[in-house]
Amino acid sequence: TAEVMSHVTAHFGKALDECREESGLSAEILEEFQHFWREDFEVVHRELGCAIICMSNKFSLLQDDSRMHHVNMHDYVKGFPNGELLSHKLVDLIHNCEKQYDSIADDCDRVVKVAACFKVDAKAAGIAPEVAMIEAVMEKY
């Protein structure tokens, strides 16, 4: 659900500060991670892909090949309130997107394409949060 996704995004987004330097993601491109879900934010920059890899690694959500670790991602999402309502769907959507871009060799380039695909598909599935929903739960994390 979008409500659960707001919690996941608020928590996941806290890792952005730690990943700015190594990813090269400037505040001009993305000021706060929750803006990822804004209608007018385009998920296109390679640096965002690098940042998502770095952030995901803080929570062990990726395998060595920078593809999703299915079990760890499932457990991570399940850990939020009502997380079991979202965990299977989120893993499904991300994996479906990974399959579409598997031929892109550069990890950062591939992951930003996967993230853009995930944003589109999450909106279509009705599980994309409004930025206001994320801001309402930020203080919990």
**Nearer Cβ to ligand BOM (10/26):** 10
Give the interface segment with ligand BOM, choosing from 5-13, 22-30, 80-88, 131-139 (CB under 6 A): 5-13
User: Is 35 among the residues that bind ligand BOM (CB under 6 A)?
Assistant: no
In 3-state terms, what secondary structure has residue 62?
Answer: strand
Per CB under 6 A, 98 contacts ligand BOM: yes
Name the nearest CA neighbour of 118 among 9, 7, 3, 28. Answer: 9
Q: Token digits for 129?
A: 């949060």
From the list 13, 6, 16, the residue with the least C-alpha distance to 86 is 6
Q: How far is the CB of 55 from ligand BOM (least distance, A)?
A: 8
Establish if 25 lies at the interface with ligand BOM (CB under 6 A). Answer: no
Site for ligand BOM contains 30 (CB under 6 A): no
Does 114 engage in binding with ligand BOM (CB under 6 A)? yes
DSSP for 8-47 reads HHHHHHTTHHHHHHHHT--TTT-SSGGGGG-TT-----HH
Minimum distance, C-beta of residue 114 to ligand BOM, in the bound complex (Å): 5
Q: Cβ of residue 94: shortest distance to ligand BOM, in angstroms?
A: 5
Contact residue for ligand BOM among 8, 30, 54, 128 (CB under 6 A): 8
Q: Quick check: 37 and 18 in contact, CB under 8 A? A: no
Using alpha carbons, list the distances in angstroms from residue 125 to 1, 14, 59, 141: 9, 25, 25, 26
The contact set with ligand BOM (CB under 6 A) reads: 8-9, 12, 36, 52, 56, 67-68, 94, 98, 111, 114-115, 118
